[in-house]
């Protein structure tokens, strides 16, 4: 008699909604006016981690909707033009989703290069839209001050991909 095999089914609550709430909380926490040694806390775009990881974990209809909501939250929270961050986050999601068959199973170094390229694309989109709307380009140094901490969040994206990639055997 065969023993039943335990199948670990990971639902959208575990890999979409809980990380989205953590990203919201971390964004709010890092926006507090705390000053250490004359420097403010960094303000990375934490949902970029989710946009990159969710496209690799599993194609879903819920992920782009949640990314749009997170982007709109960032626009309202940072007093930016409405639609700027949803556009940037969905661009990352689309690029990674389009190259998903190539990226699945790649080494961490390759994933980091793709993550850095996607972050560069998203920040380029944000810079171009802001330049167009303000008729004046924003500071490149301020942009780099947001790009660097966002790139440092890659280990969280890598951990999410490793944790949830094989979470549901129905999608292999």
pLDDT digits (tens, 9 = 90+) for 11-21: 777 788 999 99
Q: Which residues contact 7 (CB under 8 A, 6 or more apart)?
A: 168, 169
Burial 47-81 (b: 16+ CB within 10 A, else e): bbbbbbbbbbbbebeebbebbbebbbbbbeeeebe
pLDDT tens digits for range 116-133: 999 999 999 999 999 999
Q: Is the pLDDT of residue 40 over 90?
A: no
Which of 1-5, 42-46, 48-52, 60-64 is predicted least confidently?
1-5
Q: Which residues contact 165 (CB under 8 A, 6 or more apart)?
A: 56, 57, 104
- Cα atoms in the 13 Å half-sphere on the side-chain side of 51: 32
DSSP 3: P
Distance of CA 97 to the CA centre of its chain: 13
Provide the whole-model pTM: 0.88
DSSP 170: G
pLDDT tens digits for range 88-118: 999 999 999 999 989 988 999 999 999 999 9
Phi and psi angles of residue 71, each rounded to the nearest 5 degrees, phi first:
-65, -40
Phi and psi angles of residue 87, each rounded to the nearest 5 degrees, phi first:
-60, -45
């Amino acid at each position: 008699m065969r023993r039943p095999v335990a199948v670990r089914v990971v639902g959208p609550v575990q890999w979409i909604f809980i990380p989205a709430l953590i990203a919201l909380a971390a964004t709010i926490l890092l926006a507090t006016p705390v000053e250490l040694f004359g420097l403010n806390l960094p303000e990375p775009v934490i949902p970029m981690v989710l946009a990159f990881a969710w496209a690799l974990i599993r194609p879903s209809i819920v992920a782009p909707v949640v990314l749009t909501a997170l982007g709109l939250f960032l626009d309202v929270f940072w007093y930016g033009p409405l639609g700027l961050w949803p556009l940037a986050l969905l661009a990352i999601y689309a690029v990674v989703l389009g190259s998903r068959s190539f990226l699945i199973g790649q080494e961490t170094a390759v994933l980091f290069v793709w993550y850095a390229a996607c972050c560069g694309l998203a920040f380029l989109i944000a810079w171009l839209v802001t330049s167009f709307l303000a008729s004046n380009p924003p500071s490149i140094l301020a942009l780099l001050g947001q790009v660097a901490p966002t790139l440092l969040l890659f280990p969280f994206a890598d951990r999410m991909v490793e944790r949830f990639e094989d979470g549901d055997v129905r999608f292999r």
